[in-house]
Chain A
Amino acid sequence: EAGVTQFPSHSVIEKGQTVTLRCDPISGHDNLYWYRRVMGKEIKFLLHFVKESKQDESGMPNNRFLAERTGGTYSTLKVQPAELEDSGVYFCASSQGALPYEQYFGPGTRLTVT
């Protein structure tokens, strides 16, 4: 069974540009999560999808971040326009069922904004 995959693995962009990150969850997992780790800090929750619906987006930093999950399969996270403080590792995770048990993580996308 394929794990959670993320694309790209690295992205370097200039301040003001737009970047779109993609996450493909484990097949059949209804729950999809985005997290971010800024260097030196803990991994922080951004948002949670159940199928195509946003269940909890309390962790989204501001309206420069837009997450979508059309059709309830893969998800994209767009940052527009990117700022220096957006640099970090963006993780996607997925889980199945109604219980918030094991969340399976992807390898992350390392975003550097210069």
Chain B
Amino acid sequence: ILNVEQSPQSLHVQEGDSTNFTCSFPSSNFYALHWYRWETAKSPEALFVMTLNGDEKKKGRISATLNTKEGYSYLYIKGSQPEDSATYLCARNSGGSNYKLTFGKGTLLTVNP
């Protein structure tokens, strides 16, 4: 994998469903993996920053895992609510003096009431 890739591109679920998305990234020169939640016309909101292989983080109904050896991260949402509707972005940075984030295209989640 050369770029950060996210799947699926979009997802429609019913309120109460649990769901998950995938972020795949180059495993070489890895420093950190970021997850953001973005609603159009608003600031992307940082959800998690993960650096260590096997990291698991949780924030309310949202959690994320990280596998740096195989180059993937999962984001899970338990009991989706309409207010979870947003684009979920993952981004990677390779550390050192290189601070820039390399983003995937995002997963657009729509939660139907």
Interface of A toward B, CB cutoff 8 Å? 3-4, 9, 31, 33, 35, 41-45, 48, 55-56, 58-59, 91, 95, 100-108, 110
Contact = CB atoms under 8 A, between A and B. Distances in A.
Contacts of A95: 99
A91 B104 CA distance: 15
Contacts of B91: 43
Interface string B72-109: 00000000000000000101010101111111111000
Interface residues of B, number: 26
Contacts of B43: 3-4, 104-108
Contacts of B99: 31, 33, 48, 55-56, 95, 100
Given A33-B100, A91-B44, A100-B31, A41 B93 contact: no
A87 to B, nearest CB: 15
A107 B41 contact: yes
Interface in B46-67: 46, 49
30 contacts: A3-B43, A31-B99, A35-B101, A35-B103, A42-B4, A42-B104, A42-B105, A42-B106, A43-B89, A43-B91, A43-B101, A44-B103, A45-B102, A48-B99, A48-B100, A55-B97, A56-B97, A91-B44, A95-B99, A100-B98, A102-B49, A103-B101, A104-B46, A105-B36, A105-B43, A105-B44, A105-B45, A107-B41, A107-B43, A108-B43
